[in-house]
Structure 1
Amino acid sequence: MLRLDLDTALAEINEIKARYTRDRAAFVKGEHLIEILSAFGSTPQSVAEFRKVSEGLPPDPTLDFRKARNGRFCLDTGAGTAYRTEFQPFILTTEEDFVRHDSGKVRRFAEIDANTQLNPTFQALLVFKHLVVDDIEIVQRPGLDYDLDKWICTAFHTRTTTDNEHTGEPALEGVHSDGVDHTMTVLLGSENMTDDSAVTRIHDMRERNATQWYDIDPELAIGQWQHRDFLDTILIVDHERKHSVSTIMRKDPTTSAQRDMLVLFTRKLTQPGHVSHEFDSVAPHPTLPMSVDLLTPARA
């Protein structure tokens, strides 16, 4: 793979940042992202190992067609570091534009393990996203503390499957937002999917929550992308653009289809009264420690 020096990688990130700032969403090809990540510690070996981290994921607590892990990271801009925080439950509500049968339910996911979080490619992804989103002006969500120089990044590692018993829905909730400031979705792998499976559509905020992808208002559709190759990535300003994802369909109906994703939700810490405030600890994880230097925009 082509390895980039730091200055070249930062120039590439600034070009992505400009598109993201202009359009409030951006797509990055995986092969391009791999080159950028090389400037932040990712290596050919860690990329090869990262392709395999989805094996052995445990069941999701509320979706029978999905397996999942979850982990939280504090991105401390003032200190210039990102670190793993202690286990926290997860909740997302209808008031945050997420309408599903488990909206408002406290969910407890299995934790992202050391095999994933200590991979240099995973750590480089944290740095990459931070450099893209940290100082962009956005519509602020109510109940978040924008005066703090800290972010919470919740990482979801998922495998969604369609087989004889289940239909895999990457976004069962239909049109939605994720209750955060910035969403980043990264493809880790897929098998046996049809060419029209798992298309991500971007919507104007006026689109009705929970509308399924096949019922959307075309006048409120802003665009669409599809994760096809390893590390293909979409970034979305979550409180300014909604999104939906189409169903996973099988190319060969005699075997299962699956899609492995890493999704990074980044938001400011909550204020008292926010539904997630009691789950917003920034204490380091006692048994799964991890920290990585952030090349913050000021230091860059």
Structure 2
Amino acid sequence: MKVTEDTVGAFVDVLRQDGFAFVPGDAMRDAFAQAGSLADWDAFAASWNDLALDTHMADHGRYRRRRHAVYRAGADGAIERQTHQPHYQSLDYNRLNGGVARWFEPIVADGASLATILAYCRGLFGALAPDVARWHVEAHQFRIEARQGEAGLPTPEGVHRDGVDYVLVLLVARRNIASGTTTIHRPDGEPLGRFTLTHAFDAALVDDARVHHGVTPVEPVDASQPAYRDVLVVTFKATGEAHA
């Protein structure tokens, strides 16, 4: 469902009703601005030019670059970056690349924009789950590259869940690509919605326990020019700790 209001309350209502929301970039940027500064956004977006190749791809693809960071967030207070650690998903959630601890290069552009995005997500997802005292948070920078004869796969594992509670997928940049359409499904596979993130700050908000999601492959429009899709994915998972 398309969301145009820029308040946490409106997004909460849509997520509770549908399990997902598409938020246009202008509305998402305005919503982030309620939580903090985006003053370093240009530098943050430029950091996607320095992502390392993902060498863990079981399909042997060389179309994905990424960086990763882990945080601990309480219901209130600071969101604290944790010692660098691997990303792990079980095979239940990632049939292609799951079952192993995957180490990625750390996120280095850890400034105002990322802090604001994390703070906003904590407020939004905390409103959906007010009993959660602590969150395990992971941030992933992804660049999916498309070349002539080699499509880029934003979700090479197919339509899936991430094995967390909530997900933000935020478009940072999109250059010279076609497709890359997000699809949302019930657990039984029934389609619920589809939309394409096309402008900076366009976002998908997902209740990962209720719906599955995927993204169609991207192909270059002009094969002689660089073609890529840059997104930030943020996941929140309750740690099971109770309020003091």
Structure having the higher Rg:
1
Q: Give 1:202's match in structure 2, choosing from 169, 174, 184.
A: 184
Please list every run of 5 or more consecutive structure 2 residues that lacks an aligned counterpart in the other structure: none
Q: Give 1:108's match in structure 2, choosing from 100, 103, 106.
A: 103
* Matching of residue 227 in structure 1 with residue 201 in structure 2: no
1:198–1:248 contact (8 Å) kept in structure 2: yes
Q: Give 1:38's match in structure 2, choosing from 33, 53, 56.
A: 33
1:267-282, aligned counterparts within 5 Å? 267-269=237-239
Segments of 4+ in structure 1 off by > 6 A? none
Distance 1:49 1:29 in 2: 22
The secondary structure found in structure 1 opposite 2:195 is strand
After superposition, the C-alpha distances for 1:126-146 in whole angstroms (9 at most, x for unaligned) are 111111111425xxxxxxxx9
Q: Which residue matches 1:213?
A: none
Distance 2:240 2:63 in 1: 31
Letter in structure 1 aligned against 2:30: E
Please list every run of 5 or more consecutive structure 1 residues that lacks an aligned counterpart in the other structure: 1-9, 138-145, 208-219, 272-300
Shift of 1:167: 2.4
Q: Which residue matches 2:125?
A: 133
Distance 1:81 1:171 in 2: 32
Distance 2:199 2:102 in 1: 30
* Matching of residue 99 in structure 1 with residue 99 in structure 2: no
Distance 2:95 2:83 in 1: 27
* Matching of residue 66 in structure 1 with residue 64 in structure 2: yes
Report percent identity of matched pairs: 23
TM-score (norm 1): 0.73
Shift of 1:199: 0.4
Q: In angstroms, what is the RMSD of aligned CA positions?
A: 2.1
2:70–2:84 contact (8 Å) kept in structure 1: yes
Label 1:135 to 1:38 Cα distance change in 2 as closer, same or farther (>3 A): closer
Larger strand fraction of residues: 2
* Matching of residue 161 in structure 1 with residue 153 in structure 2: no
After superposition, the C-alpha distances for 1:214-260 in whole angstroms (9 at most, x for unaligned) are xxxxxx00001211100111011101100111001111122331011
May I ask how many residue pairs the two structures share in their alignment? Answer: 233
Q: Give 1:54's match in structure 2, choosing from 41, 45, 48.
A: 48
Q: Which residue matches 1:89?
A: 86
Letter in structure 2 aligned against 1:127: A
TM-score (norm 2): 0.89
Distance 1:32 1:173 in 2: 30
Shift of 1:25: 0.4
Shift of 1:269: 2.2
